[in-house]
Amino acid sequence: MNDVAIKATNLVKKFGDFVAVDHLSFEVNKGEIFGFLGPNGAGKTTTIRMLCTLSSPTEGSATVAGFDIAHQGNRVREHIGLVSEKMIMYDRLTAHENLRLFGELYDIPRDALRERIDELLQVVNMEKWADHQIGTFSTGMKQRINVIRALLNEPEILFLDEPTLGLDPQSTNEIRDFARSINDDAGTTIILTTHAMAEADMLCDRISIVDYGKIVALDTPSNLKKVITGADTNVIELNVPNITQTLVSDIQSLSCTQTVTVEDETHIRVHASGDEACDNVIDTVRSGAGQIRSIHNVEPTLEDVFLYLTGHKVREQVADKVTTKEPSSRHGASVRSRIR
Amino acid sequence: MGLVMLILMPLFMMGMVGYIFPSNSGMSHVPVALANLDAAQGNTSLSTQFVAQLEALNNKTGMMDFSTVGSAADVKSNIQNGQQSAGIIIGSNFTSNLQTGKQADVTIVNDQSNPQTASLIQTELTQVIQQMGTQTATYGLNQTYKTPLNYSLAQVAPYNVQTTGIVPGQTNYFEFVAPGIMGMVVMMSLMTGLPHAISFEREVGTLDGMLAAPVHRMSILGGKVIAQTTRGMMQGIIVLMLSIVLFGVVVQGSIALILGILLLGVFSLVGLGILITSFTSTEETATMIMMTLTFPMMFLSGVFFPISQMPQFMQVIAQFLPLTYAISALRQVVVLGVGVQAISRDIFILFGFGIVLLSAALLAFERAMKR
């Protein structure tokens, strides 16, 4: 119990009839970077809000930093920091004033607070901007302040809700490095939600893949990827100059094929199982009068893992042509299949 | 900018309202058409004397500007095209009636498109003419029967009616409207401030920042309430100062009591504000709902017009609005200078409203923040 930072038991959150979080149970160990990976609407933010005591669960319970979220709310809040999707700052106050305002909510003695603010501003290279109004900052700068605001009380657990969403590449990298360094130096447990696979892959010790309010898989990134290879599935990248619907359905109809995804005008990604999967696919393309510019048997990414486990892509919005068969066997995780 | 608006808004409201609505003491140089249709004209004509007397009296106050017109039709058309606001028609039998012991006819013509002015002019003219009548009769008795003037007066007009107010001085409409505006400004300040403090912050995320900190929910709410109350009180005080300095309102009662009533008014309404803002997700929606509620409240609570002049069902509605009691109490203190005793019922009711609404609001806030 002492090594567990968060323990959630059957958390449920309903908004009217809509079930946003569907009986989530998991444990987060102290000092680990734990990720929630999933599409928009999967219930990630709702779960975070419950753990931060901003929202009360419809059913279920959880302890954060050893305190019950329903009955020991104030104690929970003393030990957490929240970097939410929204900027928690007042535009008309300066960076310093904002930090002081929020810092004072935590009963930090004035001198210690001032030191801490200066220290944190330096770490994110914002000391020169301490006395400028936040409203004048760029998004990247605001996010840096947003992040250090959450660290004022030296929390045991830091919640990062889509911290790099909408940021320029430089700020994105900085935030990611920063997160890693907090974890390395101070041993802060970090809960990260994201729908950027690469981010989860590079930062997290363990990832839980969530879809429609349920945890579809929970493991280390490498173990998750082995789910695909372990099930003897290959991920094949094809570069085909002209992709036609016929071609796609031809590949689809192969018995070895699990999913076919058209990435863009010239790239197809196929999940297929079996030793002859590659050959079969090549033959099919050739016979369909298609040329193959290149073909790779690639390492599965988390995107592939997600697709494999849930039967759909993370970003459904764009008209990615995904054709799938009913999932046959799944390795270890339970999946709800859905008709889209 | 915000600070400028803070002061400009009450000033604007007071000015607009105060100067737009007519008050008795404010009327002057109202154009009136005068048609003397008396058959008898000239020095011996009683109507000529009548007109001379009327003009003499009018010169003292300057309330009306008489213009002579030729006929009743002229009077009518002048009022229709707006040249004059009223008319006096002296009947053709004026002199002959008086000389044969009958009443002489004087007709006052009203501009019905402007009922307020019409009513004031009508009252004023009727009064003046009746006074002139009393004077004439008294003088007539004195001449005919050689009775002393005051004895004659007592015969002609046995009842001497005096009107007096409770406090010295004439009252003007400003004194009626200033307490109303005070209450209204304070209320509006609250009703626009709370949506920003709660709904906007919830929208933008800063409320989450507060809620995720180890601060008691009630402290957060309390802080916002105090902030909005202060803002409202500041605007109320500005209205008070403007009323006294610029518009000549004389405050008969204690300023401390006025501030107390304003505070109580805030207390009674803040619960309602919190209830509404707790459940709306955007500042825009919250402000819209607030406006929908406060606008009718302004008119129904007697800010601009006395409630007693409203139809029955509106008076009933007014009973349920806390602002009604606040304004009534404020008026009594400002204009009549009463003490706590006299307004104890209003205080009690405001307090009651406050307790009920605030309790509901506290529960609602807790619940709403946990969604």
Min Cα–Cα distance to chain B from A55, Å: 4
No. of helices (H) and no. of strands (E), chain A: 11, 15
Q: Is residue A298 part of a domain?
A: yes
Task: Please report, for residues A118, B53, B69, B243, the alpha-carbon distance to residue B86 in angstroms, rounded to integers and kept in the order given.
Answer: 78, 19, 12, 32
Q: Is residue A303 part of a domain?
A: yes
Indicate if A91 and A185 belong to the same structural domain.
yes
**Last residue within a domain, chosen from A220, A242, A268:** A220
Contacts of A227 (CB under 8 A, 6+ apart): A217, A219, A305, A308, A309, A331, A332, A333
Report the residue of chain B nearest A74, measured CA to CA. B214
Does the pLDDT at position B339 exceed 90?
Answer: no
CATH number assigned to the domain comprising residue A312: 3.30.70.100
Q: What is the pLDDT of residue B25?
A: 53
CATH number assigned to the domain comprising residue B49: 3.40.190
Does the pLDDT at position B80 exceed 60?
Answer: yes
Indicate if B117 and B217 belong to the same structural domain.
no
Indicate if B314 and B193 belong to the same structural domain.
yes
Does the pLDDT at position A331 exceed 60?
Answer: no
| Domain of residue B112, residue span | 25-156
Q: What are the pLDDT digits (tens) for B245-258? A: 877 777 888 888 88
Q: A24 in contact with B at a CB cutoff of 8 Å? A: no
Q: Is residue A104 part of a domain?
A: yes
Indicate if A230 and A212 belong to the same structural domain.
no
Element (H, E) at A6: strand A4-15
What's the full length of chain B, in residues? 371
Contact state of B370 with A75 under an 8 Å Cβ cutoff: no
Q: Is residue B16 part of a domain?
A: no
Question: Which residues in chain B are closer than 8 Å to A82, comparing Cβ atoms?
Answer: 208-209, 212
Q: What is the mean pLDDT of residues A309-323?
A: 58
Task: Please report, for residues B33, B45, B90, the alpha-carbon distance to residue B36 in angstroms, rounded to integers and kept in the order given.
Answer: 10, 11, 5
**Last residue within a domain, chosen from B121, B156, B191:** B156
Closest by Cα among B222, B182, B228 to B9? B182
pLDDT band of B165, cuts 50, 70, 90: confident
Indicate if B182 and B115 belong to the same structural domain.
no
Indicate if B61 and B95 belong to the same structural domain.
yes
Indicate if A216 and A228 belong to the same structural domain.
no
Q: What is the pLDDT of residue A113?
A: 93
Helix B255-279 with B217-246: angle, nearest 10 deg: 140
Q: What is the mean pLDDT of residues A89-108?
A: 92
Q: Is residue B7 part of a domain?
A: no
Q: What is the pLDDT of residue B323?
A: 87
Does the pLDDT at position A338 exceed 50?
Answer: no
Q: Is residue A185 part of a domain?
A: yes
Report the residue of chain B nearest A147, measured CA to CA. B209
Indicate if B246 and B151 belong to the same structural domain.
no
Q: Work out the number of other CB atoms within 10 angstroms of the CB of residue A310.
A: 26
pLDDT band of A321, cuts 50, 70, 90: very low
Does the pLDDT at position A266 exceed 60?
Answer: yes
Min Cα–Cα distance to chain A from B170, Å: 49
Contact state of B211 with A54 under an 8 Å Cβ cutoff: yes
Q: Is residue B4 part of a domain?
A: no
Question: Which residues in chain A are closer than 8 Å to B209, comparing Cβ atoms?
Answer: 82, 88-89, 102, 149
Based on the number of CB atoms within 10 Å of its own CB, is A263 exposed (0-12), middle (13-18) or buried (19 or more)? middle
Q: How many domains does chain A contain in total?
A: 2
Indicate if B54 and B124 belong to the same structural domain.
yes
Q: What percentage of chain B carries pLDDT values higher than 90? A: 3
Indicate if B213 and B342 belong to the same structural domain.
yes
Q: Is residue A329 part of a domain?
A: no
Q: Is residue A233 part of a domain?
A: yes
Beta strands (DSSP E) in chain B are 30-36, 64-69, 86-90, 106-110
Integer-rounded Cα Rg, in Å, for chain A is: 23
Q: What is the pLDDT of residue A328?
A: 39
Report the residue of chain A nearest B368, measured CA to CA. A55
Q: Is residue A201 part of a domain?
A: yes
Q: What is the mean pLDDT of residues B354-366?
A: 89
Indicate if A120 and A196 belong to the same structural domain.
yes
Torsion (CA) B50, B53, B59, B62 in degrees, nearest 10: -40
Closest partner CB to B212 (pick from A54, A56, A90): A54
Min Cα–Cα distance to chain A from B193, Å: 16
Indicate if A142 and A30 belong to the same structural domain.
yes
Min Cα–Cα distance to chain B from A77, Å: 5
Indicate if A176 and A267 belong to the same structural domain.
no
Cβ pairs bridging A and B (under 8 Å)? 49
Indicate if B69 and B203 belong to the same structural domain.
no
Q: What is the pLDDT of residue A75?
A: 92
Indicate if A132 and A277 belong to the same structural domain.
no
Indicate if B225 and B364 belong to the same structural domain.
yes
Best residue in B207, B370, B371 for a mutation probing chain A (most A CBs within 10 Å): B370
**Last residue within a domain, chosen from B156, B191, B215:** B156
Closest partner CB to B205 (pick from A77, A86, A107): A86
Contact state of A77 with B214 under an 8 Å Cβ cutoff: yes
Q: Is residue A335 part of a domain?
A: no
**Last residue within a domain, chosen from B156, B184, B217:** B156
Phi and psi at B132, nearest 5°, equal -60, -40
CATH number assigned to the domain comprising residue A9: 3.40.50.300
Indicate if B199 and B57 belong to the same structural domain.
no
Indicate if A165 and A265 belong to the same structural domain.
no
Question: How are strands ordered across the β-sheet holding A157-161?
Answer: A80-83, A157-161, A189-194, A33-37, A206-211, A214-219
Find out whether A333 and A228 touch, Cβ atoms under 8 Å: no
Indicate if A31 and A86 belong to the same structural domain.
yes
Cα–Cα distance, A249 to A246 (Å, whole number): 5
Indicate if B252 and B291 belong to the same structural domain.
yes
Residues of B with CB under 8 A from a CB of A: 204-206, 208-216, 369-371
Q: What is the pLDDT of residue A188?
A: 93
Best residue in B203, B208, B216, B369 for a mutation probing chain A (most A CBs within 10 Å): B208
What is the average pLDDT value for chain A, to the nearest integer? Answer: 85
Lowest average pLDDT, out of A287-291, B98-102, B111-115, goes to A287-291
Does the pLDDT at position A192 exceed 90?
Answer: yes
Q: What is the pLDDT of residue B235?
A: 85
Indicate if A184 and A311 belong to the same structural domain.
no
Q: What is the pLDDT of residue A120?
A: 92
Min Cα–Cα distance to chain A from B210, Å: 8
Find out whether A265 and A298 touch, Cβ atoms under 8 Å: no
Report the residue of chain A nearest B215, measured CA to CA. A105
Question: Which residues in chain A are closer than 8 Å to B220, comparing Cβ atoms?
Answer: none
Closest partner CB to B205 (pick from A88, A102, A107): A88
Q: What is the pLDDT of residue A157?
A: 95
Q: What are the pLDDT digits (tens) for B239-296? A: 888 888 877 777 888 888 888 998 988 888 888 888 888 888 888 888 888 888 888 8
CA A325 to chain CA centroid, Å, is 26
| Domain of residue A292, residue span | 224-324
Q: A53 in contact with B at a CB cutoff of 8 Å? A: yes
Indicate if A315 and A175 belong to the same structural domain.
no
Closest by Cα among B251, B225, B226 to B239? B251
Indicate if B199 and B332 belong to the same structural domain.
yes
Indicate if A178 and A80 belong to the same structural domain.
yes
Q: How many domains does chain B contain in total?
A: 2
Find out whether B253 and B339 touch, Cβ atoms under 8 Å: yes
